[in-house]
Amino acid sequence: MYQQALSRFNDLTHILSKYRSYWQLIPFDYLDLPWHAENPKLWTWLNTQTREDILTHDSLDGRLSDILAPFLPEIKAFKRLIDLPSLVGHKTTYAPSLNRYVPGRKWAQIKAFADTIPVSQNRILEWCAGKGHLGRLLSSTYEIPVISLDRDESLCDAGRILARKVQAPMTFHSIDIRTPATAEYIHRDQHAVALHACGDLHTTLLRLAIEKQCAAISIAPCCYHAIGGQVYQPLSSMGVKSDLHLRRFDLKLPVQEQVTAPLRVQRLREVQLHWRLAFDLYQRDVTGCRTYQHVPTVQEGLLKTDLKSLFAWAASKCNLPISGSVDYQTYELRAKARRIIISRIELIRHIFRRPLEIWLIMDRALYLMEHGYDVTVGEFCPKPVTPRNMLIHAQKSA
């Protein structure tokens, strides 16, 4: 298993490194399409693609590599490298009352995760537990004690109430799990579980669980960019040795695939993007800056006003003047034209989303293998349930 994982990791490293100029860039920095000199055939083809064409290509998921392979030949290997097994789970029989207080989509994710992980009689450590929905399912179904950790005391309080309703043997502790004090709750005879713990939160669990030699570890990583530093620190020895150096911005690429977003949210995102692009053009005109300048997250209410209001708000955040003669209509038209350029750049970046995520997953898997764990990696549910559907299960070797 280690050699197979290492081979996949090395092949991904090679392709991601070779084609880094196509995905390791910030699309908002560009006013024109890049790659003209580097790949003129790709540049020419992209310039023929309308916004509708791009949306169609982007929706093809795995088949996008077939479309782009004539311009980037080595991505043909992606189909093989990102193909992970669908982990066959057992169908857990659970009390109907367990999902009474859980949103339907969230419950589907919890149920799929619980169905997939092999549960023995080891005590469960639930990491980033929230209200303990996953722990409550496992505790009630298998009649085993669960320790649930979360830094939000109000969520822990709610979890205690829900656990008492179903008489689940759960203990909640409110604690910042990134602090050294967390180690006292981790023990050798535990099965540590974490469903969608973000960035540093799940890597902290891996480090501590390995240090304490936990019997089993099951995680579904999420939000890889939620790290303390600006640069990713690989976990495995091979990751440390690789020439793939990732910034926090690069780590956002795998989670750009949000198939679960409602249409209303998608529309608001598109409005926000257009308006941000318009304001970026304005700040470039005013300051002469040639790169995108970050603007804080726009509140939803502002997106229901108009571009002039957005400009006034953004200018105040960026300490820029706003004159009374700003031609908002022209900036909006320029932004719409630029949106097509951004879409073309993003189409190319998107082919590298899943490969980069698999690279990050394999970095974690290799790290666990290097510390004496037998590791299984696969998909615990279909993408429509959640695009962050990859499970790493590690069992301490006998």
Q: 378 has which bridge partners?
A: 391
* Domain boundary residue, one of 313, 334, 350: 350
Mean pLDDT computed over every residue of the chain = 93
**The 170-174 sheet, strands edge to edge:** 170-174, 146-150, 123-126, 190-198, 216-222, 390-396, 373-379
Residue 265 is assigned to a structural domain of this protein? yes
Q: pLDDT tens for residues 142-183?
A: 999 999 999 999 999 999 999 999 999 999 999 999 888 899
Q: How many domains, the chain? A: 2
Phi, psi dihedrals of residue 150, rounded to the nearest 5° = -160, 145
- Chain-centre distance for alpha carbon 46: 27
Condensed to tens digits (0 to 9), the pLDDT of residues 255-307 reads 987 555 677 888 888 899 999 999 999 999 999 998 888 888 888 899 989 99
pLDDT at 94: 77
Evaluate whether residue 207 is within a structural domain: yes
Residues 318, 183 share a domain: no
Could you give the percent of the chain with pLDDT greater than 90? 79
Q: 50 and 136 share a domain?
A: no
Q: Are residues 306 and 321 in the same domain?
A: yes
Residue 266 domain-assigned (yes or no): yes
Place of tokens 């080891």: 122
Buried b (16+ CB within 10 A) or exposed e, 31-50: eebbbeeebeebbeebeebe
Confidence (pLDDT) at 258:
58
346 DSSP 8-state letter: H
Question: Do 152 and 109 belong together in one domain?
Answer: yes
- 266 with 240, same domain: the answer is no
162 and 140 in contact (C-beta within 8 Å)? no
CA distance 253 to 352: 8
- With tokens 């790709």, the residue in question is 42
Residue 247: closest CA among 27, 75, 26: 26
pLDDT at 317 over 70: yes
Q: How does pLDDT run across 226-253, given as a tens digit for each residue? A: 999 999 999 999 999 999 999 999 999 9
Residue 206 inside a domain? The answer is yes
Same domain, 136 and 219: yes
Q: What is the per-residue pLDDT for 1?
A: 82
Inter-residue contact 172 to 129 (CB < 8 Å): yes
**Are 144 and 219 members of one domain?**
yes
Helix then strand then coil, in percent of the chain rounded to 5, is 55, 10, 35
Residues 159, 141 share a domain: yes
Look at residue 90 and tell me if it is in a domain.
no
pLDDT of residue 97: 78
Average pLDDT over every residue of 205-230: 96
In a domain, 88, yes or no: no
Q: What is the pLDDT of residue 207?
A: 96
Output the pLDDT for position 167. Answer: 92
Measured in degrees and rounded to the nearest 5, phi and psi for residue 11 equal -65, -40
205 in the same domain as 112: yes
Say yes or no: 229 and 371 in one domain. yes
**In this predicted structure, what is the pLDDT of residue 339?**
94
In this structure, are 108 and 193 located in the same domain?
Answer: yes
3-state secondary structure of 53: helix
89 falls within a domain: no
Which of 350, 368, 388 marks a domain boundary?
A: 350
Enter the pTM of the model.
Answer: 0.93
Q: Is residue 91 a part of any domain in this protein? A: no
Assess whether 242 and 111 both reside in one domain: yes
pLDDT of residue 99 exceeding 90, the answer is no
What domain range includes position 362?
Answer: 96-254+355-396
Please state, as a whole number, how many other Cβ atoms lie within 10 Å of the Cβ of residue 255.
18
Tell which wins on pLDDT, 100 or 220: 220
The amino acid at 97: S
The CATH code of the domain that includes 249 is: 3.40.50.150
pLDDT at 186 over 90: yes
Which residues are paired to 396 by β-bridges?
Answer: 373
Distance CA 347, CA 43 (A): 12
Q: Which tens digit of pLDDT belongs to each residue from 21-68?
A: 999 999 999 999 999 999 999 999 999 999 899 989 988 766 888 999
